[in-house]
Amino acid sequence: MGLLTKATRFFKKYQAPSAGAPEEETEPLVRLNQVLSIPQRFATGPVMGKFLNAFKEKRILANKCPQCGRLQLPPREICAECRVRATEWVEVGPEGVIATPDITYYASPDPLTGETRETPYISAHFLLKGCKDHETLWHELKMTDFDKVKRGAKVRPVWSEKRVGAITDIKYFEIIE
Amino acid sequence: MKKNRNVGIIGVGQSVYSSHREEVNQPEMINEAVVEALESAGLTIDDVDCIVHGNMELFEMVHQPDLWHTLGTGALGKESLRVTTGGTTGATLVAAADHLVASGLHDVVLAIGFEKLQEGHTTGGITNMADPLWGRQLQTGALTGMTAAQMIEEFGEERAKKVAMKYRILMDQHAMKNHKAHRRLGLSPDQADELMENSPQLVGELRMIHMCSQSDGACAMVFASEEKATALCDQPAWIKDHVTAHREEMFCIFGDAPVLSTHRYAARKLYQRCGITNPREEIDLFEMYDPSSWWGSDWLREFLLLEGDEHLKMIENDEIAMDGAFPVNPSGGVIASNPIGATAMVRVAEAALQIMGRAGEHQVPKTVNQALASGFGGTMWTVLTLLTRQVPW
């Protein structure tokens, strides 16, 4: 958070055109600060539910479009391009390679927890075994030497001890040395 | 392509854009833009048939802000619609107003886009676009270093970084001529090397200096039927066409295979419908929704259907400067001012001002007969709008 706080001093605050005028007796402006906390529940539906449930057994499932044959990760009810139901399931991974990595330095809030994230962290689109082209899975990469974070680097998932059927059952992927 | 009747833009109003408009509340800020738009159209609120209102959904955590804003919009007793399509909201507001007038339902429509980003958390808000079951734990709003990485891979580190900084400095030089712009930093070309190394990194090679602002501000536009527009305005900016191109969630564009961007898809469709074969020659000016100087540089290639490094050359050769052959964002663009719900509308509004000859200090030094404006949103989708000086259909 420090970066942005520091940076805002570079940006001039707007001054109302009347700012230079002789001072009138005005009431001070009031700003109300509020922090919201909102409990939320999200239904997975049967398709995402199957994908998340399989995490409990350390399995990663994609589903396949019967028309164009592409895999979807995570799986979705239909293939949006062909507009047909994707009914066939394929187990992929668990190992794979990095397709596109991103190193995030900006500390933003996680809307699911309200907590500000620890930075830097690395997210990446992974091409798991059995997948091709754009059939990538987006997840976190374990913090490591940035020089190793390259396209094509081999990775494997690291699973949580206690798995509940959530995307966080995969703690992160790590580079295989 | 067939339009029921022509629609002209006859009035444009903008508040001043700033990081902190704490001296006004939301309705007051909107009213600044509404008053200016009506004055520029020579109308009063009584002449307006319908009001279209929009911003980012729940960014300020106000449900149905259009109700509260009635004080500033003048919507009391009038027909009113609310539109909220994320980053493209402003462009969709224009599309909605165009539909309302072209259909014959209304003769004069006022469209208003606004955002008061200081009253919420921008990156937190955008992060909510990601699937809560998958991806939201990683998403960092609209911040990504992937385009920078791709450009560096394709064109080499030195050239790619130089182009992104050149683009950034050009946009700041434009913003310096737009007194309503939020960030007017007064950058000069000799600062490029220092900034590209020392500006704080946000994600990968996307640095603070490359990224758009978080602004407070509002934009309002008056749309009229051909008959009214011709009677009320010496030079309306006419809406020739607009194309919206959506995609599914961003699941399938980050692997090792070519991607057809919605920008290129929308541009092809628009040019085909309007008989444009050489966009660089036939279009006089482009107001692009450029959230960062990496995206702005990269997307030129998509919108103009270019190949190879043509887009880089356009930046390197100053072709996109205000007095260049293909001016891009004489207003300073999104990097200078980004009140998100208004941002995509500001692109159309600024393109319209250039056609009308009313852009003031940042008016380009040539007649603008045809101008393009883009909107960009959420999971990589596009709205493209084409404006003309002559009655189009």
- HEC readout, B149-191: HHHHHHHCHHHHHHHHHHHHHHHHHHHCCCCCCCCCCCCCHHH
Q: What is the mean pLDDT of chain A?
A: 87
Structural domains for chain B: 7-122+214-224 (3.40.47.10)
Nearest CA distance, A23 vs chain B (angstrom): 15
CA dihedral B124, A160, A63, B150 (to 10 degrees): 50
Could you count the other beta carbons within 10 Å of the beta carbon of residue A115?
9
Which of A10, A81, A103 is the closest to B204 by Cβ?
Answer: A103
Average pLDDT score over residue span B131-152: 89
B111 has pLDDT over 70: yes
pLDDT at A109: 83
Name the residue ranges covered by the structural domains of chain A. Answer: 45-175
Helices B26-41 and B65-73 meet at what angle, rounded to 10? 50
pLDDT tens for each residue of A43-97? 999 999 999 999 999 999 999 999 999 999 999 999 988 999 999 999 999 999 9
Lowest mean per-residue pLDDT among A37-41, B172-176, B192-196: A37-41
How many Å apart are CA B6 and CA B19, to the nearest integer?
37
pLDDT at A23: 60
pLDDT tens for each residue of A109-131? 888 888 888 899 999 999 999 99
pLDDT tens for each residue of B30-75? 999 999 999 999 999 999 999 999 999 888 888 899 999 999 999 9
Could you count the other beta carbons within 10 Å of the beta carbon of residue B189?
11
pLDDT interval class at A10 (50, 70, 90)? very low
Residue with tokens 């729940």: B58
pLDDT at A11: 46
pLDDT at B183: 95
Contact B33, B14 (CB under 8 A): yes
pLDDT tens for each residue of B249-266? 777 788 878 888 999 999
Lowest mean per-residue pLDDT among B24-28, B59-63, B166-170, B277-281: B59-63
Show residues of chain A in contact with B149, CB under 8 Å: 100-102
pLDDT at A39: 83
pLDDT interval class at A31 (50, 70, 90)? confident
Say yes or no for a CB contact (<8 Å) between A3 and B257.
no
A5 has pLDDT over 80: no
Pairing of strands B108-116, B50-54: parallel
pLDDT interval class at A20 (50, 70, 90)? low
Average pLDDT score over residue span B8-36: 95
Percent of chain B with pLDDT over 70: 100
Mutate to test the interface with A, among B207, B252, B260 (most CBs of A within 10 A): B252
* Helix locations, chain B, DSSP H: 26-41, 65-73, 89-102, 122-127, 146-155, 157-175, 192-198, 226-232, 262-274, 279-282, 293-303, 310-316, 333-336, 340-356
pLDDT at A21: 61
* Burial tier of B22 (Cβ tally within 10 Å: 0-12, 13-18, 19+): middle
pLDDT at B12: 98
The larger pLDDT score, comparing residue A1 to residue B193, is at B193
Say yes or no for a CB contact (<8 Å) between A105 and B132.
no
A29 has pLDDT over 60: yes
A18 to chain B, any CB pair closer than 8 A? The answer is: no
B357 has pLDDT over 90: yes
Task: Give SS3 for B59.
Answer: coil
Average pLDDT score over residue span B294-307: 97
Q: What is the mean pLDDT of chain B?
A: 95
What is the number of alpha carbons within 13 Å of residue B350 lying toward its C-beta? 34
How many Å apart are CA B259 and CA A99, to the nearest integer?
14
pLDDT at B251: 72
Mutate to test the interface with B, among A3, A9, A10, A11 (most CBs of B within 10 A): A11
Nearest CA distance, A99 vs chain B (angstrom): 6
Which pair of structure tokens corresponds to residue A147?
Answer: 């020089």
What is the number of alpha carbons within 13 Å of residue A12 lying toward its C-beta? 13
Show residues of chain A in contact with B253, CB under 8 Å: 134
pLDDT interval class at A25 (50, 70, 90)? low
DSSP B17: P
A1 has pLDDT over 50: no
Average pLDDT score over residue span A12-28: 62
A37 has pLDDT over 80: no
Cα A114 to chain centroid, rounded: 15
Q: How many CB pairs under 8 A join A and B?
A: 131
Closest residue by Cα to residue B358 from B13, B7, B38? B13
CA-to-CA dists, residue B192 to B110, B172, B340, angstroms: 41, 12, 27
pLDDT at A22: 62
Say yes or no for a CB contact (<8 Å) between B254 and A109.
no
How many Å apart are CA A144 and CA A127, to the nearest integer?
19
The residues in A 53-112 lying below 8 A from B, measured between CB atoms, are 70, 72-74, 76, 80-81, 99-106, 108-112
Nearest CA distance, B33 vs chain A (angstrom): 15
Show residues of chain A in contact with B131, CB under 8 Å: 74
Q: pTM for the whole thing?
A: 0.93
pLDDT tens for each residue of B359-392? 999 999 999 999 999 999 977 899 999 999 999 9
**Could you tell me if the ipTM is greater than 0.85?**
yes
A14 has pLDDT over 60: no
